[in-house]
Amino acid sequence: PPFHRLLLTGAAGGLGRVLRPRLRRHCQRLRLSDRADLGSAADGEELQPAALEDRAAMRELLREVDAVVHLGGIAVEAAWEPIQAANITGVYHLYEAARLNGVRRIVFASSNHVVGFYRQHEVIDALAPPRPDTLYGVSKAFGENLSRMYFERYGIETVCLRIGSSTPAPENRRMLATWLSHDDLERLVLAALTAPNAGHSIVYGLSDNRTRWWDNRLAAHIGYRPQDSSEPWRAEIEATQPVPDPDDPTRLYHGGVFVELGPYD
């Protein structure tokens, strides 16, 4: 395996549980962290619970780690305080811990909600200005910018994954464009971990879908090659799910319903 020790944060979350057994195959030791219960350690796993807002615990968490897959944090719209604690302060703690422990590569789970207010007729690449649809999207834009600063100043490489919708199968019309299969998620994370010169990069996380709003031409150096597509689900979704009203956000915006969620304060 190419890595001695990988760290996966958010390992108890939705995608953390998907990646846990898959990343295990690519390292000698897989350190797993979350504030939620992680169950028991399998062979080659190390459990190290930590809250992102706990600076000292984060510093310990990144000790003797080759690279980090950072899925930890709030993954949907929420009140400001938890977003600030996990996605703003927590990401800062992560990068400070990387700097102090000499960690050289981070794969950062960003989100399509950084660009959620683009319209579905617009196709954008990684240079499109952010148009966050939620406080959550703003917090992910912060992580993208903080990681850029840590690359420019300290050479810590980050691949920001603007993940679409990673579920076992596409569930609705919007997800025909945004879907990222779990196998493609694994391919994407592995490409981001192993690309020789990742620098600071932004990659959209989607499968090889026929309808697509996100263009990865600026991320060719990461070498991500999706193998799956939402297309086999199209006929059934289009036959069984009503066409939304013309002013329905799920039909207008990249971010779908997120453009209307909240405020939750």
CA distance 92 to 251: 35
239 vs 262: CA distance, rounded Å: 31
Helix, strand and coil percent figures for the chain, each rounded to 5 = 40, 20, 40
Instruction: Candidates 87, 111, 181, 207: give the one binding ligand 15L (CB under 6 A).
Output: 111
Does 91 help bind ligand 15L (rule: CB under 6 A)?
Answer: no
Q: What is the number of helices (H) and of strands (E) in the chain?
A: 9, 7
Of 98, 87, 102, nearest to 143 by C-alpha is 87
**Is residue 95 among the annotated active site residues?**
no
Per CB under 6 A, the segment of 79-87, 93-101, 110-118, 150-158 that binds ligand 15L is: 110-118
Question: Between 150 and 179, whose beta carbon lies closer to ligand 15L?
Answer: 179
The interface with ligand 15L within residues 120-179 (CB under 6 A) comprises: 165, 178
Residue whose structure tokens are 């919708």: 165
Q: Least CB distance from residue 135 to ligand 15L, whole Å?
A: 12
- The answer to whether 65 and 94 have CB atoms below 8 angstroms apart is no
- Give the CB-nearest residue to ligand 15L: 165
Residue from 33, 48, 112, 201 binding ligand 15L (CB under 6 A): 112
Minimal distance, residue 240 CB to ligand 15L, in Å: 19
Dist CA 62 CA 31 (whole Å): 9
Residue 134 CB, shortest distance to ligand 15L, in Å, is: 9
Q: What kind and span of H or E run contains 137?
A: helix 135-154
C-alpha torsion sign, points 200, 164, 244, 239: positive
Find the catalytic residue in 92, 95, 118, 136: 136
88 vs 103, which CB is nearer to ligand 15L? 88
Asked if 87 is part of the footprint of ligand 15L (rule: CB under 6 A), the reply reads: no
Please tell me the distance from the alpha carbon of residue 164 to that of residue 228, in angstroms, as a whole number. Answer: 14
Instruction: Point out which span in 16-24, 36-44, 105-113, 223-231 binds ligand 15L (CB under 6 A).
Output: 105-113
Contact mark string toward ligand 15L, 178..217, x via CB under 6 A: x---------------------------------------
| Per-residue tokens: 57 | 């615990």
Site of interaction with ligand 15L (CB under 6 A): 75-76, 111-113, 165, 178
Cite the active site residues. 136
